[in-house]
Amino acid sequence: MSKVVVIGGGAAGMMASYSAGMCGHAVDLYDGNEKLGKKIYITGKGRCNFTNAMPLEEYFNSKIVTNPKFLYSALYGFSNDMVMDFMEAHGCPYKVERGDRVFPVSDHASDVTAALKRGMDEVGVRVHLNQKVSGIIERNGRVVGIRLEGGKEVLADAVILATGGKSYPTTGSTGDGFAFAKELGMDVTTLRPALVPFVTKEGYVPLLQGLSLRNVTLTIYDGNKKVYSDFGEMLFTHFGISGPLVLTAASLLGKRLEKSGSLRAEIDLKPALSDEQLDERLLREISENGGKAFHNYIAKLLPGKMVDVFVDLTEIPAEKKARDLTAEDRKRILNLLRHFSFTIQGLRGFKEAIVTQGGISVKEINPSTMEAKHHPGLYVCGEVLDVDAVTGGFNLQLAFSTGYLAGISIE
Ligand SMILES: Cc1cc2nc3c(=O)[nH]c(=O)nc-3n(C[C@H](O)[C@H](O)[C@H](O)COP(=O)(O)OP(=O)(O)OC[C@H]3O[C@@H](n4cnc5c(N)ncnc54)[C@H](O)[C@@H]3O)c2cc1C
């Protein structure tokens, strides 16, 4: 039996505590917060989309953004099915929704934390709240414990680092683990906010604030190169764009955006119609509304909030009668319906990011055990690692899988 100290009582730290305890170790978990799983409470809009039921191969094909190969052992060792079984067995029955997203039947994120707590109680994990850790102690090339704020040292045979990323810092995830790793000389890759909204340049975007578009195609270009295109839902805000399509794009393109400085976004407002169908529709509107002003009949093709901006961008006088529109005018309208464009200039900050991209380099970590290669006795799991995924329950699954593996790997 080893004495194990876990830093961080989020998804990864709680699961690691459970699995280490299950293996017969004496586990002490430290968290700076007044309660466990503070971030879990706000996940999935308070419902906690705690995993995704799609086959694991799909995770590796398209859902894990950074370092999927590194996660192979962890995910197959403690899979999505096993997470669902764990939750069910610990008093949190689940349901599978659209897109294979898995939620507690109760729709309460607190039930996920309660299940993890139940698991930890079962195996005798001791939880120390309001206890911020200030560093990791290494002696003679081996990690031997932690230092608490105030200076007290807690010695252990193994330390599990599960401090999360630095997004939504009000939940306690302030990025301390990155500093601890750097103090030990470990490589931490560039950190950037991910699953985060985009900031845009043009003044007309904020005018659309609050407008939510469904069933549109968002395409993003770096120069002339198409770098992202997907169909779904997005939202205009006072600073730019957000919503599911945008968050995913931000995770995939953050690095590129940093390099290129800006990217061009285009929305196809009518992706279900071919050019011919769209032109026919426009001609029909024109013939049925010949006496109406441009801004009145175009409203039939657009969400109300968009009409003024759209009319301005076509540079067609708002009062021009439908019957007076030229072929050139029609072309402009069609073009704008297909390519409503603006410039992406940056990402919003960590405060609004669902996850942190970057972290402790996976080159530092043994993927079969989560132990630090050059710092025996130290195990690392969850978002503090350089791994991240798109939305849909994948990020919590990564935290659970890596946490579980860290816990069972301690000898
Ligand atoms: C708004 C929002 C919604 C989300 N929704 C989902 C979702 O529905 N599905 C999904 O899969 N993912 C979701 N995520 C992402 C997911 O929550 C995280 O990826 C996951 O919680 C990471 O788990 P973790 O245990 O690694 O880190 P965290 O959950 O961040 O936990 C880290 C813990 O370490 C503690 N800690 C940090 N530093 C110290 C220190 N020095 N001393 C002591 N303790 C410390 C913190 O207090 C914290 O409790 C969401 C994220 C956000 C912000």
Residue 168 CA to ligand 1 centre (angstroms): 8
Rounded CA-CA distance 170/164 in Å is 12
Residue 349 CA to ligand 1 centre (angstroms): 16
**Residue whose C-alpha is closest to residue 155's, from 172, 138, 177, 168:** 138
Pick the CATH number of 3-193+357-409 from 3.30.590.20, 2.40.340.10, 3.30.470.20, 3.50.50.60: 3.50.50.60
Helix or strand run (H / E) with residue 51: strand 51-52
DSSP string, 319-386: T-BGGG--HHHHHHHHHHHH-EEEEEEEE--GGG-SEEE--B-GGGB-TTT-BBTTSTTEEE-GGGBS
Which pLDDT does position 286 carry in this prediction?
86
Q: Is the dihedral of CA 181, 19, 358, 365 positive or negative?
A: positive
Pocket residues for ligand 1 (CB within 6 Å)?
A: 7-13, 30-33, 38-39, 42-44, 48-49, 132-133, 162-164, 167-168, 172-174, 176, 354-355, 382-383, 393-396, 399
Q: Where are the domains of the chain?
A: 3-193+357-409, 197-348
Q: How far is CA 308 from CA 123, 251, 285, 298, in A?
A: 62, 32, 18, 10
Residue 10 CA to ligand 1 centre (angstroms): 5
Q: Which residue has its alpha carbon closest to ligand 1 atom 3?
A: 43
Distance of CA 5 to the CA centre of its chain: 28
Which pLDDT does position 173 carry in this prediction?
95
Which pLDDT does position 297 carry in this prediction?
84
Among 49, 66, 395, 401, say which to mutate for ligand 1: greatest number of ligand atoms within 8 Å of CB.
395
Please identify, by atom number, the ligand 1 atom nearest to the C-alpha of residue 396: 11
Rounded CA-CA distance 279/226 in Å is 25
At 346-393, the pLDDT tens digits run: 999 999 999 999 999 999 999 999 999 999 999 999 999 999 999 999
CATH number of 197-348: 1.10.8.100
Please identify, by atom number, the ligand 1 atom nearest to the C-alpha of residue 384: 26
DSSP string, 254-320: HHHHHHHS-EEEEEES-TTS-HHHHHHHHHHHHHHTTTSBHHHHGGGGS-GGGHHHHHHHHT--TT-
The count of residues in the chain is: 411
DSSP string, 102-166: EEETT--HHHHHHHHHHHHHHTT-EEE-S--EEEEEEETTEEEEEEETTS-EEE-SEEEE----S
Give pLDDT < 50 ranges for the chain: none
**Residue whose C-alpha is closest to residue 78's, from 411, 409, 361, 410:** 409
Q: Which residues contact 78 (CB under 8 A, 6 or more apart)?
A: 15, 19, 400, 401, 404, 405
- How much is the CA Rg of the chain, to the nearest whole Å? 25
Q: Which residues contact 61 (CB under 8 A, 6 or more apart)?
A: none
Verdict on whether the full-model pTM lies above 0.85? yes
**Residue whose C-alpha is closest to residue 124's, from 239, 48, 6, 24:** 24
User: Are the C-beta atoms of 269 and 302 separated by less than 8 Å?
Assistant: yes
Which pLDDT does position 289 carry in this prediction?
86
Q: Is the dihedral of CA 211, 212, 216, 219 positive or negative?
A: positive
Rounded CA-CA distance 145/154 in Å is 6
Please identify, by atom number, the ligand 1 atom nearest to the C-alpha of residue 172: 47
Residue 171 CA to ligand 1 centre (angstroms): 7
